[in-house]
Structure 1
Amino acid sequence: MNSILHITNGDTTTQLLQSLGVEGEIITWREMLCEGKTITEVGSESFWKTRFDFLKSSYKITKKKFIDYTLKEYRNLCQQKQQDEIVLWFEYDLFCQINMLAVISWLKRYRSDRKISLIQGGKTKNNSKLKTLSEYTQKQLLNLYENRVELTQDDIEYADYIWQLYCSDSPLRLETVYKFNPMSPFIYLEEAIKAHLLRFPSIENGLNKIENDILVLAQEKTFSSKDAFVSEIIKTHGVYGFGDIQYENRLTELKKLFTSFNPVKLSKVGKKVLHNQMNYYGQIRSEFSYLGGAKKYSYLYVNENDKLLKISS
């Protein structure tokens, strides 16, 4: 039997594979490339410096934690050179899909002669609700594994191309390119890229889709605590795959639109922004906020026609 290397989307999936007893080495890809600045050369010194700078400034990640949690596992990946097949385990959400593109881009460069297979959590038989891999039964996981999809060279080139576009300083080509490959095995990529584009600020009030949804939720439901509020945001935004740490960050950025988080209450300004009576772009805008390679506040999302508009400097 050929030797196999598994690359998973996180520690939970790694533990699942260990409990299944699948053959081969397992590497955990511990990054969140859907947030902060990214550059195309995955694994390069400048790539990791860019990522550490973002994680340190936005999430107060220490150098030690970054090295122990992410870089050591990446170095372990670099040392895995003997396997014939590499199996990727990723979810349907934006968080995972962007990480998946980056990993495929890295494999294209450094493991071009290997067989690469893909397993994606999402659709299950007779169930319209998308599931994460941790929600699959052992039998379903083994079935996914047995029926894994081998990526063609065209698939690998396509994933790498979308990664290059994600890392470019303009998201405009992503608006159309991701729709042009309906036969690709990346069946969740289109929805993920749509969700990504909605993260640029709306022309109507300067907040993006997630930020506006947060205000709507605060207005329509009662939450006695910030924790309960964050749990509900996570539940209603599965396409993004974010956890509490990401939404805590969002709430910190939006804190002036609330009078309180325990209980959750919008301020007068928050209500005005929610009803498009005030544009918050000037107050929330940051030169240091990136989505992939593009500056978040250099583009506006026009809801009327679902198009991005570049702001001329």
Structure 2
Amino acid sequence: MVIQDKALHILNGEAMYHYYQETGFLNQERMVPFNEAMCYGGTCEDLFSQEFIDMRAEVHHVTADQYREHVLKPLQPFFDKEFSHLELWFDADMFCQINLVTILAWLDQADYKEAIDIHIVGEKFKPLSLYTVKAEGYYSIYKQVLIDQTMPEAILPASIKKGIEFYLSYLNKDSDLMLYIKEHEDVPEKELVIALINKFTDYGLGDTQYFEIVRNQRQPK
């Protein structure tokens, strides 16, 4: 079912969703948040399947039902294709760009053929640039990057390429992030997490991911 002349705007998370609601941006337009952090934890080839739900729920330390309620339920108009046009609103950081790849991959897997507008946003979610793409090829990129952990040959737009480069390296033991954590092993956990959020803005990770990364690194080997 497609609602004619009705755009659907997918936003990267509830922070952007609530900000756009409060400021009246995209007033009267249909907006839904993508409440995920696909750059952290495992995933599988069959997007949004039961296997996917179980894997991602484990990553987030929630039940499968909680995951469905928080992540999948807001996206129902997207899954049902209740739109005539799709617009995606994502920050340029790694966190958002890997989420963006996931959305485009599902559209490719679902054989969605229409043009898609991608808005890259900056501070206070202000639009910075606009790209128009087709979903074809993004499922292959998703599998190469998130499943095989390899760098695809050709990636557009540039923000996605940069996000993927960060994603494939940020947990390596010699990455800037991991070296910084190691160099500050005496800093209290909460203080270090705040420092990481402020210093590594290109990653876009939140406190939840940083707490877990720091704890994993500080476990006795």
Which bin holds the TM-score, normalised by the shorter protein?
Answer: 0.7 to 0.9
Q: Is the 8 A contact 1:84 1:115 kept in 2?
A: no
Superposed CA deviations along residues 133-167 of structure 1, whole A, max 9, x for unmatched, are x253xxxx4xx5xx73321x3xx234332212023
- TM-superposed CA distance for 1:231, in Å, is 1.1
- TM-superposed CA distance for 1:4, in Å, is 0.6
Matched, 1:150 2:129: no
Matched, 1:16 2:19: yes
**Which residue of 2 is the match for residue 2 of structure 1?**
5
- TM-superposed CA distance for 1:254, in Å, is 2.6
Structure showing greater radius of gyration is 1
3-state SS in 2 of match to 1:112? coil
**Which residue of 1 is the match for residue 181 of structure 2?**
214
Which residue of the other structure, out of 165, 176, 199, is the alignment partner of 2:170? 199
- The 5 Å alignment of 1:128-147 reads 131-132=122-123, 134=124, 136=126, 141=127
- TM-superposed CA distance for 1:110, in Å, is 2.9
CA distance in 1, matches of 2:6, 2:111: 14
**Which residue of 2 is the match for residue 100 of structure 1?**
100
Alpha-carbon distance change, 250 to 62 in structure 1, aligned in 2, over 3 angstroms: same
**2:208 is aligned with what amino acid?**
I
**Which residue of 2 is the match for residue 91 of structure 1?**
91
**Which residue of 1 is the match for residue 60 of structure 2?**
55
**Which residue of 2 is the match for residue 269 of structure 1?**
none
Q: Is the 8 A contact 2:54 2:64 kept in 1?
A: no
**Which residue of 2 is the match for residue 234 of structure 1?**
197
- TM-score of the aligned structures, taking structure 1 as reference length: 0.61
Q: CA RMSD in A?
A: 2.6
- TM-score of the aligned structures, taking structure 2 as reference length: 0.83
CA distance in 1, matches of 2:113, 2:47: 18
- TM-superposed CA distance for 1:214, in Å, is 1.3
CA distance in 2, matches of 1:51, 1:29: 13
Q: What residue ranges of structure 2 are gaps of 5+ in the alignment?
A: none
Q: How many residues align?
A: 216
Q: Is the 8 A contact 1:4 1:23 kept in 2?
A: no
Superposed CA deviations along residues 209-239 of structure 1, whole A, max 9, x for unmatched, are 42221122457xxx5x533321111111112
Alpha-carbon distance change, 113 to 82 in structure 1, aligned in 2, over 3 angstroms: farther
Matched, 1:74 2:37: no
3-state SS in 2 of match to 1:148? strand
Q: Is the 8 A contact 1:118 1:148 kept in 2?
A: yes
3-state SS in 1 of match to 2:19? helix
- TM-superposed CA distance for 1:55, in Å, is 2.4
**1:30 is aligned with what amino acid?**
N
CA distance in 2, matches of 1:67, 1:256: 31
Q: Is the 8 A contact 2:145 2:168 kept in 1?
A: no
Superposed CA deviations along residues 16-65 of structure 1, whole A, max 9, x for unmatched, are 33221434211111111111111122122222122123322xxxx24453
**1:149 is aligned with what amino acid?**
Y
Q: What residue ranges of structure 1 are gaps of 5+ in the alignment?
A: 122-130, 258-282, 284-313
Matched, 1:28 2:33: yes
Tell me the percent identity: 20
Matched, 1:117 2:117: yes
CA distance in 1, matches of 2:178, 2:68: 32
Q: Is the 8 A contact 2:7 2:84 kept in 1?
A: yes
**Which residue of 2 is the match for residue 303 of structure 1?**
none
